[in-house]
Amino acid sequence: MEHAFKPEQMTKKYFTPWVIVLVAIALNGLAFLAMRFFFGIGSVTNLNDQFPWGIWIGLDVGAGVALAAGGFTTAALGHIMHRDKYEVIIRPALLTAMLGYTFVAMGVFVDIGRWYYIWHPLVMWNGNSALFEVGICVMIYVSVLYIEFLPIVTERFIGRVNLPGFLKRFNLLVDGLLRKLDRGLDKTMFIFIIAGVVLSCLHQSSLGTLMVIAGPKMHPLWQTPVLPLLFLLSAFSVGFPMVIMESIAASKSFGLKPETEVLSSLSKFIAPLLGIYLAAKLGDMFIRETFVYLAEVNSTSILFGVELVIGVIIPLRMFMSSAVRESVPGLFTASMLVIFGVVMNRFNNFVTAYNPPYATEAYFPSFGEISVTLGFVALEILIYRLFVKIFPIISIPIKGFGAKAKYAIRGGSK
Amino acid sequence: MSQNRRDFLKSFAALGASAATLNAVTPQIVKGSSPNKLSPTRKGVLVDTTVCIGCGKCEWACKTAHNMEAGDIENYSAQLTDGSQRRPSESALTVVNQIDVNNADSHKVKLQCMHCDHPACVSACIVGAISKHENGAVTWDTDKCIGCRYCMIACPFQIPSFEYLKALDPKIVKCDFCIDRTKVGKLPACVETCPVGALTYGSRDELIIEAKRRIDKYPGKYFNHVFGEYEVGGTSWIYLAENDLVKTVFPKLGTNPAPGVSESIQHGLFAYFVPPVALYALLGGVMWLSKDRDKSKGGH
C-alpha cells in the first residue's frame, strides 16, 4: 500500500479574527486565574463546604480526560491493530491528547488548594484512594504522551537544526543527538504505545470510581458500583468522534479538503461502541431500578434525559446511517452530539448528581469559574494551532498522487 | 516501527521481568498505607441530647483549646435559639443546634467530626494525610495535604471544612478529638467543659453498654437506638435522643463501612497488578500478531 498523505507543517497565517477572539477568551480566563492565586479559590469560585468540587473538576478534569481519549483509541487502532489507513489521524489525535492531558493537569493544579504540593502523590501513596490512582496514572500517561510525541520533534529538526548566534557551533552535536534519540525511540516506541493504552484504560475507569465513595450523597441515577465501567465505555465511544470533529474543524480552518474517506470508515466503529455504552447504562438502570427517578420531572431527571437521549441515543442512530457517515456535516454533527453527551455525563456525575445532606443552596459555577474553564479551552486550541504550524502533524495529500492513491487506499485496507 | 520480531520479543521479555518485580514489591507498600488500627480500647464520646441545655460552652472551649477566635462565652447560648441550623466550619470545629428548628424548647444536639471507625476521608485522601489513630481519633496532617478536598466529597456527615479564602496553605478544618490533650491524659475540651454532663468520654465499647443501660432504664425518655453504634460501620461519637435523629439531624446511612464499595473496586482493578499487566500482555500480543499488516512497508 502506498501513502497518499504526508504530515506537513501548516503554512496559513496564525492570526485570524477567530484566533483574536480566542486570545481574548484566554486572557479573560488567565485574569481570573491570577485572582485565584492571589486571594484563594473562594475569591473566584462558588465552591464552599457544601460543594467542594465544581466545574474545574467536573469539566476541566472529568470531561477533559474523557475528551482526550482520542489519543489512546487511535493509538490502539492504528499502532496496536496496525490499521495503517488510520495513520493520518494518529498525529492530530496524539497532539490533542497531549495538550488535553496537559490542561487536565493544569486544571488539577489550579483547583487544589496547595498547588505547590502537587508532587506529593508521587512520594506519599494511598493505595485505597481512587484519586491517587487517577493522579499517578495521569502523571505517567502525560509523560508517555510527550515521549510518543518526540519522534515528530526529531522528524521536524533532524537535518534542519539551526541554532541562533554563538550556539551555532552546537548544530552538528544537537543533530547527532536527535538522530540517536530517534533511533532509540524507534526501537522502544511500542513499549510506550502499549503502556499508553493500558494507563488510559486504568485511569479512565478509576475516574469513574472517584464518585463512588460519595455514597448516598450522589443521586442514584448516577451512583452505581459499575461507574468505572460506564466511564471506560463512554471514553471508548467518545475517542473517535473527537478525532473526527477535530479533523473536520482543522481542515476547515486551514482550507484543506476533509479526509472524508478515512473519517467515514473510522465512524463505523462509533455506533457499536456507543451501543455497548448505552446497553451498559440502561442495563445498570434496570438492574438497580433507578428508572423510578425519571417519573418525577425536575432538573436532575431532565439533565439525565438530555445526557442519554441527545448525547447517546440520537448520535447512535445517526452513526448507524451510512448517509450520515459519508457526509461531512453529518459526521460533524453526530460527533459533536457524542462529545456533548460525554461532557454532560461528566458534568452530571461530578456536579448535578452531588447532593450533600446539609445543602442550603444549589451550586452554580461563578463567572470566574466559567471564564477559567473557557480560557483553558481557548488556550488549548491556540497552542494546537501553533503546534501544527511548527510540527508536521496534519496530513495533506501528496501532489501528483491523485486518483491512483485513492484506489490504493481502498485496495490496501482489505 | 522498524524493529524485527526478535527485538520485539527481547524487549517484551525484559518488560515482563520488570513488571514481575513491580508486582513483587508494590503490594506491601499498598498494604502498608492502610493500617487497620482499630483498637478494642479506642475511645469515644456518648452525647446524651436529653441532658444538653444548649449553653454552648463546649463551642467556646473548643475554640479556646484550638487557638481560634472564641469571643465572649456568654454570647454562645443566644446563637442556639435563633432557629438556624449551623454546621461545623473553618471557624468552629463543633456547633450545637436545636434538633427542631421551629421549637426553641426542643433538645439540642452537638455536631462535630464523628471519628468513624472506617473513615471515608482516610480511604479517599490522595496522599494519606488523614489517619485513624489507635485512640479512635481521625486527624489531618498539614504537611501532606494538597488541598484537593476529596475528603469533603467522601465524608458521609459533611464535616470537613476548607479555608477557601486563603491563597497560601489553606487548611482542611475539622475536630481532631483534642488529640493533643488526650495524649497527655486530659479530657477533650468540650467534654471537660460541659456543665451538665451531656458528654461522656470513655472506651467506646463501655459507652455503648452505658447508652443501652440508659435506654433500658428510661424507655420512655429515649428513642430505642444508639446512633453511631453501627452507622457507616460505627463511629466514635455516639448519640442518644428522645426521638430518631435520622432525618432530623443525621442523613440516613447504612451500616456498611463509609468507604463503601469504593475500596473493593479499586483493589479489584489493581489486584496485585494482575489486570494491568494482563492487559499489557494482551495488547502486546495483538500488536505482534498484527505486525504483518505493514510488513510490506517497514514502518513509518
Condensed to tens digits (0 to 9), the pLDDT of residues B63-112 reads 999 999 988 888 887 767 666 788 999 999 999 998 888 887 889 999 99
Spatial contact of A86 and A74, defined as CB atoms under 8 Å apart: yes
Over residues A99-109, the pLDDT tens digits come to: 999 999 999 99
Q: Around Cβ A231, how many Cβ atoms within 10 Å? A: 27
Residue B31 touches chain A, beta carbons under 8 Å: yes
At A99 the pLDDT is 95
At A318 the pLDDT is 96
Which of B29, B91, B143, B152 best probes binding to A when mutated, by most A CB atoms within 10 angstroms?
A: B152
At A305 the pLDDT is 94
Quote the domain boundaries for residue A297: 5-357+368-394
3-state SS, residue B164: coil
At A141 the pLDDT is 93
Chain B residues touching A114 at Cβ < 8 A: 145-147, 169-170
Q: How far is B178 from chain A (nearest CA, A)?
A: 22
What DSSP character marks residue A291? G
At B222 the pLDDT is 94
At B82 the pLDDT is 67
Q: Look up residue B230 and give its three cell numbers.
A: 453501627
Q: Look up residue A307 and give its three cell numbers.
A: 445526557
CA–CA gap between residue A305 and residue B38 (Å, rounded): 44
Which is more confident, A1 or B277?
A: B277
At A159 the pLDDT is 83
Spatial contact of A196 and A165, defined as CB atoms under 8 Å apart: no
CATH number at residue A162: 1.20.1630.10
At B242 the pLDDT is 93
Q: How far is A123 from chain B (nearest CA, A)?
A: 8
CA–CA gap between residue A64 and residue A121 (Å, rounded): 20
Confidence of residue B27 (pLDDT cuts 50, 70, 90): very low
Q: Around Cβ A114, how many Cβ atoms within 10 Å? A: 18
CATH number for the B33-269 domain, one of 3.30.70.20, 3.40.50.1970, 3.40.50.2300, 3.40.30.10? 3.30.70.20
The answer to whether residue B28 scores a pLDDT higher than 70 is: no
CA–CA gap between residue A101 and residue A70 (Å, rounded): 11
Cα–Cα nearest to B178, from B199, B209, B164, B163: B199
Question: Which residues contact residue A282 at a Cβ distance below 8 angstroms, ignoring those fewer than 6 apart?
Answer: none
Over residues B118-160, the pLDDT tens digits come to: 999 999 999 999 999 999 999 999 999 999 999 999 999 999 9
Phi–psi pair at A187, nearest 5 degrees: -75, -30
Residues of chain A with pLDDT under 70: 1-3, 399-414
Q: Do B284 and A194 touch (CB under 8 A)?
A: yes
What DSSP character marks residue A398? P
At B51 the pLDDT is 94
How far, in Å, are A160, A295, A306, B129, B202 from residue B211 at the CA level? 81, 43, 50, 33, 12
Q: Do B34 and A128 touch (CB under 8 A)?
A: yes
Q: To the nearest 5 percent, what fractions of chain A are helix, strand and coil? A: 75, 0, 20
| Overall average pLDDT of the B267-278 stretch | 79
Residue B239 touches chain A, beta carbons under 8 Å: no
At B81 the pLDDT is 64
Chain B residues touching A34 at Cβ < 8 A: none
Q: Look up residue A138 and give its three cell numbers.
A: 495521569
Q: How far is B191 from chain A (nearest CA, A)?
A: 25
Which of A91, A104, A114 best probes binding to B when mutated, by most B CB atoms within 10 angstroms?
A: A114
Residue B3 touches chain A, beta carbons under 8 Å: yes
Q: Do B166 and A47 touch (CB under 8 A)?
A: no
Nearest to B293 among A43, A84, A206 (CB): A84
The answer to whether residue B260 scores a pLDDT higher than 80 is: no
Spatial contact of B19 and B280, defined as CB atoms under 8 Å apart: yes
Q: How far is A173 from chain B (nearest CA, A)?
A: 25
Specify the number of domains making up chain A: 1
The answer to whether residue B246 scores a pLDDT higher than 60 is: yes
3-state SS, residue A180: helix
Strand partners, B44: B202
Q: How far is B262 from chain A (nearest CA, A)?
A: 5
Q: How far is B151 from chain A (nearest CA, A)?
A: 9
Spatial contact of A241 and A339, defined as CB atoms under 8 Å apart: yes
Q: Do B164 and A186 touch (CB under 8 A)?
A: no
CA angle B138, B255, A208 (to 5 degrees): 75
> How do A394-397 and A5-8 pair as beta strands?
antiparallel
Question: Which residues contact residue B74 at a Cβ distance below 8 angstroms, ignoring those fewer than 6 apart?
Answer: none
CA–CA gap between residue A341 and residue B38 (Å, rounded): 44
Nearest to B146 among A114, A205, A228 (CB): A114
Q: Do B253 and A216 touch (CB under 8 A)?
A: yes
Task: Give a yes or no: residue A342 inside a domain.
Answer: yes
Q: Look up residue B26 and give its three cell numbers.
A: 508494590
Chain B residues touching A154 at Cβ < 8 A: none
At A255 the pLDDT is 87
pTM of the entire predicted model: 0.88
CA–CA gap between residue B258 and residue B130 (Å, rounded): 15
Task: Give a yes or no: residue A272 inside a domain.
Answer: yes
Question: Which residues contact residue A103 at a Cβ distance below 8 angstroms, ignoring those fewer than 6 apart?
Answer: A60, A64, A376, A379, A380
The answer to whether residue B189 scores a pLDDT higher than 60 is: yes
Nearest to A121 among B15, B127, B163 (CB): B127
Task: Give a yes or no: residue A403 inside a domain.
Answer: no
CA–CA gap between residue A12 and residue B220 (Å, rounded): 84
The dihedral sign for the CA sequence A218, A221, A227, A233: negative
In B52-202, alpha helices (H): 57-65, 76-80, 120-124, 150-154, 179-182, 189-193
Spatial contact of A187 and B277, defined as CB atoms under 8 Å apart: no
Cα–Cα nearest to A36, from A24, A45, A28: A45
Environment class of residue A333 by beta-carbon count within 10 Å: exposed (0-12), middle (13-18) or buried (19+)? Answer: middle
Chain A residues touching B258 at Cβ < 8 A: 215
Chain B residues touching A125 at Cβ < 8 A: 29-30, 33, 127-128
CA–CA gap between residue A210 and residue B124 (Å, rounded): 9
Residue B71 touches chain A, beta carbons under 8 Å: no
At A409 the pLDDT is 41
> How do B138-140 and B130-132 pair as beta strands?
antiparallel
Spatial contact of A349 and A230, defined as CB atoms under 8 Å apart: no
Phi–psi pair at A261, nearest 5 degrees: -60, -50
Nearest to B283 among A42, A80, A120 (CB): A80
Q: Do A358 and B120 touch (CB under 8 A)?
A: no
> How do B237-240 and B43-48 pair as beta strands?
parallel
Q: Look up residue B264 and give its three cell numbers.
A: 473493593
Chain A residues touching B158 at Cβ < 8 A: 49-50, 217, 356-358
Chain B residues touching A211 at Cβ < 8 A: 153
Percent of chain B exceeding pLDDT 70 equals: 83
Strand partners, A28: none
At A286 the pLDDT is 92
Helix (H) or strand (E) holding B159: none
3-state SS, residue B198: coil
Chain B residues touching A236 at Cβ < 8 A: none
Domain ranges of chain B: 5-32+270-294, 33-269
CA–CA gap between residue B86 and residue B94 (Å, rounded): 10
